[in-house]
Every structure is written in C-alpha cells, then in structure tokens.
Structure 1
C-alpha cells in the first residue's frame, strides 16, 4: 500500500532543520529531533511508505555495512554486558542514537532534493548562533568554564567548528541569481570565520588540532578546478597560513607553552596533576586496563569505580581516580569495552568516512561538497576524540547521528537525481 508523504515530508524537514541549527543552543532539541524522526520512521514502516521510490528492505540491504558500522558501539556495549552478565541499561542509551541511525536516515529520505539543499542555511544559522553563544559564555574570551549550559565547552567548540566548515563548503551549492549567491556566500564565509573565532576564544587545544585537517579537506573541494598537485599545494599553503596566524596569537602561544610545561613536569614526575599530566596518566591507566581485559574491557559502568579502587590502592593519583573517562575516545573504548569497543569505534569513524571519501571524485559540485562535509564529520570526531570523549555527551551523539543522516541521505538523493537525469560521474 502506497501512501502520500507530503505532510510527513515537511514535518521531517522542519525537525531536521531545527535540530541541526539549534542543537548546540537549546537544551533537549537534539533528543526531541531524534525521537520524532524515530517515530516518523516507525509510522512510515507500519504503512509501507516508500521514500523516493526506495523500499526499506532495499535501503537496508544496499547500505547494510554503513548501518552496521553506525551501530558498532552499541553492539560492543551489548556484547560486554552479555559476556560479563553485568547489565546497565543507562550505558546503552546514548549509543542507541547511532544504532538507530538506519531509522533516522530512513525518515530523512522523505525530504526532496531541493529540501536537502536548503539545509545549508541550518548550518549557517547554527554556526552563527553557536559563535554568539561561545562569545557570551566566555565573556568575549576572557573566561573559560569547563562545563557550560548543557555540555562541556570542549564539545561546544568542536561542533561549532564543524558547522563553520559545513557553512564554508556550502558555497558550492549554487542556486539563485549572481547577486543572491554573492550575498549568501558572504554570510557563509562570515559563519565559517565566526566558528574559527569561537574555537579560538574557547582555548580548546583539541579543537585547534582539527583545524588544519578540516582546512585541507575544504581547500581540496573548493578548488576543484585545480589539478591534484595544485590542490595539495594550495591546501598546504592554507594550512600553513592558519597555523601561522594562530601561532602569532599570545593566547595560543600561552596554551601551547602550558602544554609543553605539563609534559616536561610529567616526564619528571608521573604523579603530577597538571592538565596534560592527568591525561597522560589516564591514557597509561586505560591501556593497562585494556591489557588486563583485552576482550570486553571493564565495562562502561565500572570505569570510574575501577579508577577509584586503583586510587585507594595508591596506584594512581587522587585526581586521576576522580575522572569519569580517559580523555581519549579510543583508549576509553579499549578500557571499557576491550577489542569489541575498539572495533566498534573505528567502524563508526572509518566506514562512513570511506563512503564519503569515495564520493569526492564525483563531478557534481553539490554532491562533492556534501560528501566533504560527511568526511569532515568523521575526521573531526576522530581528531576531537584524541583528547576527549565525544560520544559520552548526549549533544555529541545526537549531532553525529542527525548530521550523518542529513549528509548521507543528501548524497543518496543527489546521486539518484543525477542518475535519473543522465548526469555523468
């Protein structure tokens, strides 16, 4: 039975647009967006609605590797709990966002090709609002709180940076008159510069680390008319310019010098409780836990009690014993979920990343730019995860799931549209 989906289509568009633009600004927007999309997907399945001529079984079979990879972390936690017989439903909550990606993406397919192009303005709006928020909560960059509003400042800086780069890449979405495009592109560039400024005043070194890599991807796509060698040269020059500008700032110099001093102190005293020293101690402890429990780890729910126990025994410092995660996504998954966690996390990064990277070869500018955004999402989370644990926070999990759904289905719909019109790859 085929059913019209016009009403659902606009509802899905409004949910995705509001979620992607307000997720970092308004509490619970990410959760509300996720659950509404989940319910819409269930309703469409009950009434056998085909989205854009694609049935759900075909959608599942065609992209089963992608869907399985998105569920990797959830599967790892489930395996840990089944093998250890130590069940904790709360640990499954946030990873279920990615595990149910298949339904969020299925609901997103209701949007038309033109609607997907309109999402560019949700990226711009989100970047601008998040920049304003960062300016307000840091008092213009003069103060820095570890936790602001409903997420840590680190995660806010990370995701704002991604929105800024999405805005920049969307200049490839050509539409409207020359004057409209000029004004639109100016706003998009403003949003991307604002996001860089937000990252700068956040004093978040992990966010700064991602900037060169995201810049390289952006340059390669924006200068698509250049030969590969010229693209690489321009990318290197752009990265060098940004790094140079950052290093000229006393603010950045102070943060880098502080990190260097912390490393020096830690090399002389591994019990030091400096910012970097604590991270290095956590990484060392996490690796040791993985070596002791290589298959399934100690379990998400047991990580902090394990650290507290080690602290009581005097094996780690009291500061390390109070931490709730490893300040490194990979080490945290290794310690808590063992080999299953490592495989699940890497699949979450690399399977979607490879999917999007392959699409960069397409000649269509809109598809190429969207694929680059998807690659940035995977790359950004991988780099952010080197110094923090992104998937421990609800906003971060919702961001990854919702934006992955938007970008994945945008690429899918665009490819189908081009194929039906006979456009070449």
Structure 2
C-alpha cells in the first residue's frame, strides 16, 4: 500500500507542476484528487493500525501554519456570512484549501513522492508555458499572453517555474546530462512566458530570486576563487537571455515599463484612471481601511461595501470597484481580517521559509538541499508577488503556493528523515 500511495503522490505532483497553467481546471481537479487519495491512504493505515506517521515538530509547525490561516479565514466568513468568490466566481471554497493541503501533507509525509517527478514536472511545466506563450504571442498576435487566464498569475507562476528549473541546474551537480539540458531549456521557457505575459511585478521579484540562486551556486562550490569565472559566466548567460527576450520584436517589456512610467506621471497629476493608478488607489483605500479597523478588519463583503461607499463619495477613483481584492496580499489580508489575518499570513510565509532555510543550510544531502532551495524560492517569490497582487485570493495562485510548498516539504523530509536532520 505504501508503494502504491507513493507512486500516486509522485504522479499527482508531476501532473500538478506540468498542468497548473496549461489545463484550465488543474488548480482544482488535481488537488481534490490528491486530497481524496490521501484520505483513502490515511484511512487504510488507521484501519490496519499503522502507527509510524513520521511527523515531527517541523511538520507540526507547518501544519499549524496551514490550519491557522484557514481557521482565521473561515472565522471571517462565519462572522460576515460571505464567502470569497474570486475572479470568475471560481474561488468559493478558498478558505478551506489549506485544510486539504494539510491532509495531503500528513499522507505524503508517510508516503512521500519521488524527487525525480518534481524535477521533470517543473521541466514539463516550464516547457508547456513557454510553448503556450510563444504560440499566443507570435501566432495569435497577442501582446500579453495568459492562456485564457489572468496574465499576472500566469506570468508570476511561469517565472517561478523557470526559477525552479534554474535552481535544479545550479544545485544538482550529480544530475545526468539529459536532466541538466532539460532544466536549462526549461529555464528559458519559464522566463520567456513571464516576459511575454507583460507581468511587471514578477520582473521586480526576479532579481531577488536570482540573488538567492547565486548564493546557492556559490554554496555548492568549496572555493570562491576557483569558481569565480563560473559564477560570472552564469550571471552573464542569465542576463543575456533576459535581455534577448526583452528586446525581441513585439515583446511587451519596453511598452509595459514605458506605460508604468506614464501611469505614475498621470497619477502624480491627479489622473488615477490608469492601470497603475487604480492599483495605487486600491492601496491607498486599503491603508485607510486598516487604520479605521486594525483589530479584526472589515471582513469578507464588508470591505468591498465600505470601499464602494467611499467611491460614491468621490474619495477614490471609481475604477477600484471593479475588483474583488486590493491587489496586495499584505494590504488585502490586513484590511479584511485585521491583526489575526496579518499574523496568519506571516506564519504561512514565515514558517515554511524558516524550515526550508534550515534544511538548505544544514542538510548533507545534495538532493535535499536543492529541494529546500526550491522551497525558499517559492516562498520568497510569493512574498514578492503578493506585494502588488493578491495571489492568495487567486485560484491558481493559492493552489500553486499550497501545492508547491507541501510537495517540496514532503520531498525534503523524505530525503532527510533518516539523515539526522529532523524537524527539530
């Protein structure tokens, strides 16, 4: 049974990484299947009195962060009687998704996926989004690509897939040449999709991810002087690839940056109707909402009602009423659920980041370090993405974050459980 559960977990993780941005309903179907199979495996183990659950304090902290975030969000729904709906009314049950992630984590800790499925899933996912982006941009003539979904989460998650591919490339010195070549090409595919999506927030975050990758590259080399040329070469290749993509004919990079500068100038002149101007208005409204009710926040539905009332009074641009969020996970969560919501968000970011960081620094297993590095990149990436977009209120954003950190954690623990670095 353990072998079957482990194979199903591996296959589901590979499918999730490959199809999240390609198959329209992958964000919901695959996690639901994973949770259902996890429940079946857990029930089987309980009936057969399997007592070795392999959970430690690190797992407990991870599970607590997931469940507290869900509990605060569900409590907010209970007090207001309003469920979040999300874009296209796809996010009705968003507050319960961390509970499903916790269920999967418990089952996958006992029967963890295999690491090879992670790397090839990342490769396939980056390949596919790169292909979709190229097809939409050059064949269909679309300026900003997105595969039929919001271009912002599409671009952010594509960038993350490219960065995870690069993490494998710089960390797995013992990987076979076929995997290394695939990771290199996948890096280009993920970055290409991000560039063609025109998602500016991701481009701001990427230098931070690149810095972490450079630190990881340096950490895998015992002597800085000996490998200085390699690091310089890596930076040069990466910069060349990004510049080449950015300067391609028709690429939206230059236009998006020019548009951003123009939007800021318009906003300074009193015109808040532009894309960036409306976002700045949402942040301004959000901070005013926070100052009025910092304790428990306004709650689901009530935030939108107060915001729209201010719009009617002429205090903010009417364009902000078109959205069901404030284009910032930090601002939106604080304004909506107050201090408890802010603390739960910090735990959802901070606990995994701390745990992944420990394993990245201390593990003696190369594969475990590479996977822990991926976990660090996922959390740091989402923290950065969430500064300018409510990624955790987007169905693919929340599903992607939960799936990536849970899958990565179970893989790391599967490699280190017997190597002396537990969750202490």
Q: Identify the range of structure 1 (288-297 vs 370-379) with the bigger mean alpha-carbon deviation.
A: 288-297
1:68 aligns with 2:48: no
Contact 2:73-2:337 at 8 Å conserved across structures:
yes
Shift in CA distance, 384/50, structure 1 to aligned 2, threshold 3 Å: farther
Determine if the alignment matches structure 1 residue 123 to structure 2 residue 118: no
Aligned to 2:89: none
Calculate the TM-score normalised by the size of structure 2. 0.85
Q: State TM-score, norm by structure 1.
A: 0.85
The answer to whether the 8 Å contact 1:164/1:195 transfers is yes
Give the CA deviation at 1:136: 2.5
Q: Which moved more, 1:278-287 or 1:393-402?
A: 393-402
Q: 1:266 to 1:238 in 2, by over 3 A?
A: farther
Report if the CA contact (8 A) 2:325-2:332 is conserved. Answer: yes
Aligned to 2:366: 365
- Following TM superposition, by how much is the alpha carbon of 1:354 offset from its aligned partner in structure 2, in angstroms? 1.1
Q: How does 1:262-281 map to 2 (within 5 A)?
A: 262-269=263-270, 271-281=271-281
Structure 2 counterpart of 1:378: 379
The Cα shift of 1:26 comes to 0.7
1:227-376 aligned within 5 A:
249=246, 251-269=252-270, 271-361=271-361, 362-376=363-377
Counterpart Cα distance in 2 of 1:8 and 1:338: 40
Distance 1:10 1:247, change over 3 A: closer
1:180-222 residue CA offsets vs partner (Å, 9 max, x unmatched): x223211110100111111111111111112111111222223
1:47-93 deviations in Å (ceiling 9; x for gaps):
33599x8734x6275522211212343222233345xx322345671
Partner Cα separation in structure 2 for residue 50 and residue 217 of structure 1: 45
Deviation at 1:242, TM superposition (A): 5.2
Q: Aligned pair count?
A: 406
Q: CA deviation at 1:132?
A: 1.1
CA–CA distance in structure 2, aligned partners of residues 73 and 260 of structure 1 = 36
Corresponding residue SS for 2:221:
coil
Q: Between 216-225 and 409-418, report the one with greater CA deviation.
A: 216-225
CA apart distance, 1:355: 0.9
C-alpha distance after superposition, 1:125-163 (max 9, x if no partner): 0110011112223346952458642x3111011111111
CA distance in 2, matches of 1:227, 1:212: 24
- Work out the CA distance in 2 between the residues paired with 1:382 and 1:232: 30
User: Cα offset for 1:237?
Assistant: 8.9
Is contact 1:304-1:322 (8 Å) kept? no
**Relative to 1, partners in 2 of residues 1:408 and 1:338: Cα closer, same or farther, differing over 3 Å?**
same
Q: Specify which of 168, 183, 201 is matched with residue 188 of structure 1.
A: 183
User: Does the 8 A contact of 2:126 with 2:161 survive in 1?
Assistant: yes
Tell me how far 1:273 sits from its aligned partner: 0.9
Pairwise CA distance, 1:405: 1.6
Given the alignment of the two structures, is residue 199 of structure 1 paired with residue 194 of structure 2, yes or no?
yes
Over the aligned positions, Cα root-mean-square deviation in angstroms equals 3.1
Report if aligned partners of 2:217, 2:231 keep a CA contact under 8 Å in 1.
no
Structure 1, unaligned stretches of length 5 or more? 421-425
Question: What is the CA–CA distance in structure 2 between the aligned matches of 1:310 and 1:146, rounded to whole Å?
Answer: 34
| Residue 229 to residue 408, structure 1, CA distance change in 2 (3 Å) | farther
The DSSP-based 3-state class of the residue aligned with 2:45 is coil
- The alpha-carbon distance between structure 1 residues 62 and 205, as it changes in their structure 2 partners (threshold 3 A), is closer
Rounded to whole Å, the distance in 1 between the matches of 2:183 and 2:400 is 20
Q: Which of 6, 23, 31 is equivalent to 1:9?
A: 6
Single out whichever of 104-113 and 391-400 deviates more from structure 2: 104-113
What is the rounded CA distance, in whole Å, between the counterparts of 2:225 and 2:329 in structure 1?
A: 34
Conserved 8 A contact 1:167-1:192: yes
Contact 1:220–1:232 (8 Å) recurs in 2: no
Query: CA deviation digits over 1:345-369, x for unaligned, max 9?
Result: 1111111011111112123221111
Taking structure 1 as reference, are residues 140 and 231 closer, same or farther at Cα in structure 2, changes over 3 Å only? farther
Note if contact 2:365-2:415 (Cα within 8 Å) is conserved in structure 1.
no
- Corresponding residue number in structure 1 for 2:155: 157
1:20–1:123 contact (8 Å) kept in structure 2: yes
Where does structure 2 lack aligned partners over 5 or more consecutive residues? 86-91
